[in-house]
Amino acid sequence: MIEIKNAVMQFDEKNALDGITLSIPAGCAYGLLGSNGAGKSTLLRLLSGIYKPASGEVLIDGNVVFDNAAMKERVFFINDETAQFNNMTLTDMKNYFKRFYGTFSEELWQKLYSTLNLPLKKRLSTFSKGMKRQAVVICGIACKTPYLFLDEAFDGLDPTMRIIVKQMLIDAMMDTGLTVIFSSHNLGEIDEFCDRVGLLHAGKVVFDRELDSVKGSVFKIQTAFDAPVTKDSFAGIDVLHTENTGSITHLIVRGEREEVRAAVEKLSPKLYDEVPLSLEEIFIYEMEVLGYDSSKLG
């Protein structure tokens, strides 16, 4: 169980995390979404005990992580850079983690390694970005820590390798009850992999919910009216976005489906059709509400 209580992190007096409170149950696959600079990587570093919060608390299984070696042995963090391992070979890297993580499974590592095509004796500096990722991920899984945090973990992996790595993580979760938090800008992956998501923006949590709940609560309505309508016509409905295409009005709304339908039907629409949204679409519309709007470019 991960608990973050009012955590604040400052970079040069600017709050990278601004009083974040989150609770992530054990055994969960948690997807961390957010714009660039939202604080995802900072949050993962807080959880890994690399950073200490300026205020607030970060607890895993009830323990403070920062400077707590015994707690850190239960956490494995894969950051978005792998340059620090450049001087190591894959064997060196395996032995490196084996020395520090008492739970490291040589057998599991061999099993994971056998599915990849990585040279054992070459320095990681000669590896491609994707190969480095694979190397770190198999080490992370083989450490068999109860918590695994991945920052942009699938970045650089080809589609086949993404499937393999994803399957490795799923197997580990099934086998050991591993709690995985991973941040990614590839929302399709989070959509496929996670059962809970949190959206960060400007150091604050926008939402933190079960994925199904997120997807159920934000949806698209295609509707048509006799008379022209504006966003103001839908008072009482949380409309994130409106768009008119000819006589068809597209609404992105947040809320309970029944309540939204009842509210719209009061306006006597000629057409009412609900369309499910992908996580990526939800992300874009939610961010638009927060002023993080791609249309500004146009």
Partner 1 sequence: MTAQSSVNLQNKPFYKFLPYFLTKLRFLRPQMIMTGIFALLSYPLVGFFVNMWLDAGIRVYELRASQNYAAWEMQNAMNAANMAQSLATMSIVIGLICLVGLFVFTFVTTLRAFRYLYNKNAVDMDYALPVNHNTRFFADLAAVFTTSIIPHFISVIIGVIFTNVISEKAKVYVGAMNIEIVETLTSIVLQCMFVGLFACFMQIAFSLLMISTSGRKAVAAVFPVLINIAIPIIHALALFITENNTYGSSSYGETIFYPATATSPVGMLAISVLFCINFLVGGLYSNSSNLIKLDSTLPIWRVDYLVLAILLTIIFFVGAYFLIKFRRNERVGNAYVFKGMSVIIPGIVVLAMSLPMWNMVFAPLAKSRQNNSQNDAMAWIMGLLISTFIVYVILELISGKAFRKFHLTVAKWAGSVVVCAGITAVFVFSNGFGKAEFVPAPDKVACAYVYVMGDYNKYPDKNTSFSIYDTTDKDTITEIIELHKKVPKYKTEDASDFEISLSYLLTSGELVSRNYLISHELYSEIMTEIVTPENWYEGNFGSLERALDETGAEVGQIILGEINDSSDPKYSAANEVYLKPSEFDVNRFLEAIRKDSEKMNFELYWNNREKYVCTAEIIIRNKTTKDKHTYHYFVEGWMENTIAFIENCVTSQA
- Helices 159-176 and 129-142: angle between axes, nearest 10 degrees: 10
Question: Residue 38, SS3?
Answer: coil
| C-beta closer to partner 1: residue 26 or 271 | 26
Residues 239-268 that bind partner 1 (CB under 8 A): none
Check residue 174 for interaction with partner 1 (CB under 8 A).
yes
Complex with partner 1: residue 81 or 226, whichever CB lies closer: 81
**Interface with partner 1 (CB under 8 A), residue from 20, 22, 77, 189:** 77
Region binding partner 1 by CB under 8 A among candidate stretches 58-66, 125-133, 200-208, 269-277 = 58-66
Buried b (16+ CB within 10 A) or exposed e, 163-189: ebbbebbeebbeebebbbbbbbbebeb
Residues in the chain: 298
Q: Supply angle C-alpha 274, 208, 206, rounded to 5.
A: 85
Of 30 and 285, nearer to partner 1 (C-beta) is 30
Which of residues 18, 73, 238, 288 is near partner 1 by CB under 8 A? Answer: 73
Cα 150 from Cα 13, distance rounded (Å):
27
Among 31, 39, 49, 198, binds partner 1 (CB under 8 A): 49
Nearer to partner 1, 11 or 257 (CB): 11
What does the DSSP assignment read for 145-177?
-SEEEEESTTTT--HHHHHHHHHHHHHHHHHH-
Query: Tokens standing for 88?
Result: 């190591």
Identity of the residue, 170 or 248, whose beta carbon is nearer to partner 1 in the bound complex: 170
* Position among 6, 14, 23, 52 found at the interface with partner 1 (CB under 8 A): 52
Residue list 7-46, contact with partner 1 (CB under 8 A): 9-12, 16, 25-27, 42, 45
- Distance (Å, rounded) from C-alpha 278 to C-alpha 90? 38
Residues forming contacts to partner 1 in the complex (CB under 8 A) are 1, 9-12, 16, 25-27, 42, 45, 48-52, 61-63, 67-77, 79, 81, 83-85, 87, 96, 99-101, 146-147, 173-174, 176-179
